[in-house]
Amino acid sequence: METLQKTALILTIIGALNWGLIGVFEFDLVASLFGGMNTALARIVYALIGLAGLINIGLLFAEEPTRK
């Protein structure tokens, strides 16, 4: 897996964990770490996580490597 895709996967996992925290505990980790939901830094992080999700769509259509 190339570096960009691994980075995107890590960001996607972070986003999923953040949504899990929001759903279960009503706690937005990204917002609390970066000073609120509407700060520039938090919005950049949200945008990067969204972009990472789009990049990882390619994983759905990637062929699995064959093993010998």
Per-position DSSP letters for 3-15, written without gaps between them: HHHHHHHHHHHHH
What are the CA-CA distances from residue 27 to residues 17, 31, 54, 62 (Å)? Answer: 11, 9, 24, 34
N-term to C-term CA, the chain: 19
Domain ranges in the chain? Answer: 3-61
SS3 14: helix
pTM of the entire structure? 0.83
Residue 27 pLDDT more than 80? Answer: yes
Mean pLDDT of the chain: 92
Joined together, the tokens standing for residue 13 give 């996992």
- Averaged pLDDT for residues 32-37: 94
Residue 65 pLDDT more than 90? Answer: no
